[in-house]
Amino acid sequence: MSLSLSRSLPRALLRRSYGTVQAPPSAASLIANRIPPALQEATAATAPRTNWSREEVQQIYETPLNQLTYAAAAVHRRFHDPAAIQMCTLMNIKTGGCSEDCSYCAQSSRYSTGLKATKMSPVDEVLKAARIAKDNGSTRFCMGAAWRDMRGRKTSLKNIKEMVSGVRAMGMEVCVTLGMIDENQAKELKDAGLTAYNHNLDTSREFYPSIITTRSYDERLQTLSHVRDAGINVCSGGILGLGEADSDRIGLIHTVANLPSHPESFPVNALVPIKGTPLGDRKMIPFDKLLRTIATARIVLPATIVRLAAGRISLSEEQQVACFMAGANAVFTGEKMLTTDCNGWDEDREMFERWGFYPMRSFEKEGSTQPQPAVEAAPVAHDSASAAPAAASS
Ligand code: SF4
């Protein structure tokens, strides 16, 4: 068809003509008119700041996604080695039977999920699992217990401290998630060698009561404060796909960005709906929302490790890589992540190999709140006139 058409057209019409070659617009000027002021300032930052307004976080979150991920990648390169990804393994050391009512959780005793409650795992069994994780390339070992808090759990705390010391003795970073803890428990864990304590805020302050009623947002913040005061790294992030709106994802990032210091680690979980829980029929968060949240977190929390956590198994390899390119730099890997399936070590190693990533060394990010010196700020100029909001509420 095209052959006969070309035969029937005069030669002059078929000849392709080229105009004078103009100098292409600079990358800076191309993106300048799409970048809101808050993002311009953030991409030029050389240190984390803890005085974010919610409007600033919103401006960043609502930047067109291709610009947002470009800026996030630039910030990522300034504060981190963009090829290094931390491999963590998370083991449940006490499963099920929890008195709390977190609407997403398989381990709450309030929901019929079919999960069998167990006693706490013996110390030697946990250390064996940590050794396997280390031998497979994980550099951080995390241990989770399904309960509300550590009150009246003296024997458990003693055993957990043994686990913490044992894992540290292997040269691994060690993290625990044990619900609410007080100042003394935090100090004891610190003395045992704990690297980080995970306690997620889950979502915004406003949306939180629709997800959990048995403990308050302020109680969660109180635990984070005990952890921080004890000199333990804070790991605190959220869960996406709970039914929250964009404003709640913005609210979550805004809250952690204004803590006295940014968390060392910010896990971004995609809800894994568990049958029998109130959120058992929810759909996976749309990928663009997940990516947008990761990129915003990377920019607003520039020195923090942004952790692609639960739900990663539902992402394609290309989607995972898009998250790494937008600033995620840690994953959970191994046989299980608490009670849900997890991408395995071999699969992750192969993915890293294909895309040019490598596992972060233990303690590589320790105390790193300063930017990497060799990378320059992203070229952005100041012009907010045409900043276009791109995200709608879910
Ligand atoms: S406190 Fe933890 S284990 Fe208990 S229901 Fe909530 S998320 Fe699940």
List Cα–Cα distances, 145 to 132, 149, 179, 339, 382, in angstroms.
20, 9, 8, 11, 48
What tokens appear for 346 in the block? 């071999």
Rounded CA separation 222/303 (Å): 23
Atom of ligand 1 at shortest distance to CA of 179?
Answer: 1
Which SS3 state, helix, strand or coil, does residue 220 take?
A: helix
Rounded CA separation 120/131 (Å): 18
Query: Does the active-site annotation cover 88?
Result: no
Asked whether residue 88 is marked as a ligand-binding residue, the answer is: no
Instruction: Give the residue whose CA is nearest to atom 3 of ligand 1.
Output: 146
Distance 189 CA to ligand 1 centre (A): 20
Rounded CA separation 259/263 (Å): 8
Q: Which residues contact 207 (CB under 8 A, 6 or more apart)?
A: 242, 244, 245, 248, 251
Distance 105 CA to ligand 1 centre (A): 6
Distance 2 CA to ligand 1 centre (A): 65
Q: Which residue from 376, 389, 383, 387 is spatially nearest to 32, judged by alpha carbons?
A: 383
Distance 253 CA to ligand 1 centre (A): 21
pLDDT of residue 247: 98
Write the single-letter amino acid at 172. Answer: M
DSSP E strands: which ranges in the chain? Answer: 84-94, 140-145, 173-177, 196-198, 233-235, 238-240, 265-270, 305-308, 328-332, 336-337, 340-341, 358-359
Q: Which residue from 154, 150, 142 is spatially nearest to 182, judged by alpha carbons?
A: 150
List Cα–Cα distances, 310 to 269, 315, 362, in angstroms.
5, 10, 22
Q: Which CATH number fits domain 76-359: 3.20.20.70, 3.40.50.450, 2.40.10.10, 3.30.70.260?
A: 3.20.20.70
Query: Does the active-site annotation cover 323?
Result: no
Atom of ligand 1 at shortest distance to CA of 108?
Answer: 5
Instruction: Give the residue whose CA is nearest to atom 2 of ligand 1.
Output: 146
Asked whether residue 323 is marked as a ligand-binding residue, the answer is: no
Query: Does the active-site annotation cover 342?
Result: no
Among 88, 102, 323, 342, the active-site one is 102
What tokens appear for 142 in the block? 């995390």
Which residues does ligand 1 sit against, CB inside 6 Å? 98, 100, 102, 105, 107-108, 146, 179
Query: Does the active-site annotation cover 105?
Result: yes
As a whole number of Å, the end-to-end CA separation of the chain is 47
Helix runs in 214-304, H state only? 217-229, 246-257, 287-300
Among 88, 98, 323, 342, the active-site one is 98
What tokens appear for 54 in the block? 């919610």
Among 88, 175, 323, 342, the active-site one is 175
In the block, which residue shows the tokens 């008195």?
A: 99
Count of beta carbons in the 10 Å neighbourhood of residue 208: 21
Rounded CA separation 336/344 (Å): 8
Distance 313 CA to ligand 1 centre (A): 21
pLDDT of residue 4: 46
pLDDT tens for the chain, residues 1 to 394: 444 444 555 555 556 666 666 665 565 555 556 688 999 999 999 999 999 999 999 999 999 999 999 999 999 999 999 999 999 999 999 999 999 999 999 999 999 998 889 999 999 999 999 999 999 999 999 999 999 988 889 999 999 999 999 999 999 999 999 999 999 999 999 999 999 999 999 999 999 999 999 999 999 999 999 999 999 999 999 999 999 999 999 999 999 999 999 999 999 999 999 999 999 999 999 999 999 999 999 999 999 999 999 999 999 999 999 999 999 999 998 776 666 677 888 899 999 999 999 998 877 766 444 444 333 443 333 322 222 222 223 3
pLDDT of residue 177: 96
Among 307, 312, 323, 342, the active-site one is 307
